[in-house]
């Protein structure tokens, strides 16, 4: 399936707009990074935000009308609005709704209804069908794509997240196709799916993805520390970055590019430390020579080649986003909080300096404008000058390896797993701050082991005690099956699946 893409032609407008923006060379890194109060930057909403489709508006309105009207505020105080490139969707603080004595049930039409209904769907690979009933608890996410419900399986009490999106009958759903390909401990599991018709407009078809429920996100987890004026403990930074590297290595091995890596799309269980990558609504299996849209990925985490209009990019755009997430975990706020695409480039250049002609050609070989002001790179120790204590040298080294202008110069996620920054995770004595052992990190699947054809790399990533079959810590499963769903009592904070 091809994206709708423009040409990779030279973009004089970008250079002209860039030159019209003032860059204070004496400041170097943006003053937004040097904020001792660590207040999270709130990105301005774009003036050209697209309007939600009538179908999506009706879906969201119907969800709110059918749910109980006891609404509890879910705003965090540090909530920001990110520009969503592909859909120009506006990130909203999800509405948390408490249920009343009469629980809502997601009916076969996909809408909450006051009485219990059953949904028949195929839940395993041998084609056996099972009838499941879902009790809808509340809306936990919404956007231009549709709505996400938190629900309970009536028969088992298991918590699930049901992502409901409008399905164009003319096309296959790319997210569904990709989710069916994925099975990994650090990727949110799709349990099954079903289709439903619109309640008011029966001709409309909706796809419902039944996903495992994970209670928190890296974004909210980070905000908790930011609001208190502290930093995310380094063990969590390592743990989250490592698991994200592992998930990206897995999907990239199948040529799948996520195209929207950001803290909001990284689900975590704060008790166990397990991270799962979610929201594959923008993901695509890249094909060499096939053009892709360049207006993709949330702005703060958008790779520079996308800003330069490249349509022949690679999975390395996810690696840039990974670097942005790592930097945000270290500094407590986005590294490059641009207010527009051009301002985003300004923020990047303030830290990395002006890209060379060769680097610009590596990002987009058809870009012919090179008239940018010459700005020297900003030392990373000055970027983190207000962080006490300073990040360890290994963290800065990994960050530099990820945030390279040239996509081919960025360290790949598989190689990043062997970086010394993650050595603490390989220590059998390492524990979470709550005293619990680290989650399974070396339960590599057969596919992952096949990728580790280099013995030296394998021994750097996997501790010797696992390779020798010794016990200690969390033993590798080798099965490749995702971790069991996180269920039980539903916490007050909803997950974001958009």
Among 251, 253, 306, CA closest to 283? 251
pTM of the entire predicted model: 0.76
Residue 369: what pLDDT?
A: 78
pLDDT value of position 22: 46
Tens digits of per-residue pLDDT, 441-466?
998 888 899 999 899 999 999 998 88
Per-residue pLDDT, averaged over 99-109, amounts to 38
Per-residue pLDDT, averaged over 75-102, amounts to: 33
Instruction: Write down how long the chain is.
Output: 498
Q: Is the pLDDT of residue 102 over 50?
A: no
* Domains of the chain, each with CATH number or no CATH: 12-33+216-426 (1.10.510.10), 54-212 (3.30.200.20)
pLDDT recorded at residue 14: 65
User: In sequence order, which residues have a C-beta less than 8 Å from that of residue 35 and are 6 or more positions away?
Assistant: 333, 386
Question: Helix crossing, 234-252 with 316-331: angle to 10°?
Answer: 170
Going from the C-alpha of 225 to that of each of 37, 272, 333, 380, 382, the distances in angstroms are 11, 18, 11, 22, 21
Q: Which of 13, 168, 203, 260 is catalytic?
A: 260
User: Residue 357, annotated ligand binder?
Assistant: no
Give the pLDDT confidence score for residue 417 in this predicted structure. Answer: 98
289: region left, alpha or beta (phi > 0 left; psi from -120 to 50 alpha): left
Question: 256, exposed or middle or buried, with CB in 10 Å at 0-12, 13-18, 19+?
Answer: buried
Distance CA 423, CA 431 (A): 13
The percent of residues in the chain predicted with pLDDT above 90, rounded, is: 53
pLDDT value of position 82: 36
CA-based nearest residue to 86, from 324, 237, 210, 259: 259
Query: What does the CA dihedral 147, 295, 44, 24 come to, rounded to 10 degrees?
Result: 160
Tokens standing for residue 166: 């409008």
Q: For 60-76, what is each residue's pLDDT tens digit?
A: 444 443 332 222 223 33
Mean pLDDT score, 369-378: 87
Higher model confidence: residue 467 or residue 436?
436
105 pairs with which residues across the strands?
113, 135
pLDDT band at 474 (very low <50, low <70, confident <90, very high): very low
pLDDT of residue 496 exceeding 80: no
**Average pLDDT of the chain?**
77
- Peptide bond just before 389 cis, omega within 30 deg: yes
Give the residue with greater pLDDT, 398 vs 30: 398
Q: Per-residue pLDDT for 125 more than 80?
A: no
Record the tokens describing residue 497, joined without a space: 């699946």
pLDDT score of 142: 79
Mean pLDDT, residues 321-331 = 98
Q: How far does CA 278 lie from the centroid of its chain?
A: 6
Torsion of Cα atoms, 217 then 223 then 225 then 227, to 10°: -160
Query: Could you confirm whether 447 is annotated as catalytic?
Result: no
**Per-residue tokens: 421:** 């920054």
- pLDDT tens by residue, 387-436: 889 999 999 999 999 999 999 999 999 999 999 999 999 999 999 999 99
d(CA 187, CA 249): 11
Spatial contact of 481 and 183, defined as CB atoms under 8 Å apart: yes
Question: For residue 441, how many C-alpha atoms fall within 13 Å in the half-sphere facing its CB?
Answer: 29
What was the pLDDT predicted at 121? 55
Cβ(340)–Cβ(48) below 8 Å: no
Determine the Cα angle at 48 with ends 294 and 87, to 5°.
45
State the Cα–Cα distance between residues 95 and 148, nearest whole angstrom.
Answer: 11
């Amino acid at each position: 399936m091809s994206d709708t893409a423009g040409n990779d032609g030279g973009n004089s407008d970008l250079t002209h707009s860039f030159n019209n923006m003032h860059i204070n060379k004496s400041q170097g890194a943006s003053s937004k990074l040097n904020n001792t109060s660590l207040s999270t930057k709130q990105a301005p909403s774009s003036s050209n935000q697209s309007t939600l489709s009538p179908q999506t508006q009706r879906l969201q309105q119907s969800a709110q009308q059918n749910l109980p009207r006891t609404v509890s505020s879910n705003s965090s105080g540090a909530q920001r609005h990110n520009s969503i490139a592909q859909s120009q969707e506006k990130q909203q603080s999800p509405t948390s709704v408490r249920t009343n004595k009469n629980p809502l049930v997601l009916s076969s039409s996909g809408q909450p209804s006051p009485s219990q209904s059953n949904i028949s769907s195929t839940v395993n690979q041998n084609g056996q069908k099972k009838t499941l009933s879902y009790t809808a608890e509340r809306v936990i996410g919404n956007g231009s794509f549709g709505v996400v419900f938190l629900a309970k399986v009536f028969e088992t009490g298991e918590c699930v997240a049901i992502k409901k999106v409008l399905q164009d009958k003319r096309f296959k759903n790319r997210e569904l196709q990709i989710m069916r390909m994925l099975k990994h401990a650090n990727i949110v599991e799709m349990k099954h799916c079903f289709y439903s018709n619109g309640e008011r407009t029966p001709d409309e078809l909706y796809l419902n993805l039944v996903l495992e429920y994970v209670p928190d996100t890296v974004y909210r987890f980070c905000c908790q520390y930011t609001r208190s004026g502290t930093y995310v403990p380094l063990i969590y930074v390592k743990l989250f970055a490592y698991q994200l590297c592992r998930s990206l290595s897995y999907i990239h091995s199948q040529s799948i590019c996520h195209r929207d890596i950001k803290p909001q799309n990284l689900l975590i269980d704060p008790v166990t430390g397990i991270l799962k990558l979610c929201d594959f609504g923008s993901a695509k299996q890249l094909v060499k020579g096939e053009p892709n849209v360049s207006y993709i990925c949330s702005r703060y985490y958008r790779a520079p080649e996308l800003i330069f209009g490249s349509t022949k990019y690679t999975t390395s755009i996810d690696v840039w986003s990974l670097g942005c997430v790592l930097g945000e975990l270290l500094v407590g706020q986005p590294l490059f909080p641009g207010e527009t695409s051009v301002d985003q480039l300004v923020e990047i250049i303030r830290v990395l300096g002006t890209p060379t002609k060769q680097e610009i050609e590596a990002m987009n070989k058809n870009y012919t404008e090179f008239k940018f002001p010459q700005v020297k790179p900003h030392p990373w120790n000055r970027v983190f000058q207000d962080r006490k204590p300073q990040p360890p040298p290994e963290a800065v080294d990994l960050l530099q390896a990820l945030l390279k202008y040239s996509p081919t110069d960025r360290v790949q996620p598989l190689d990043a797993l062997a970086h010394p920054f993650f050595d603490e995770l390989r220590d059998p004595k390492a524990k979470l701050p709550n005293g619990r052992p680290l989650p399974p990190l070396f339960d590599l699947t057969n596919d992952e082991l096949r990728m580790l054809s280099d013995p030296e790399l394998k021994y750097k990533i996997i501790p010797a005690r696992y390779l020798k079959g010794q016990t200690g810590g969390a033993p590798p499963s080798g099965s490749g099956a995702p971790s069991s769903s996180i269920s039980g009592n539903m916490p007050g904070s909803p997950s974001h699946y958009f």
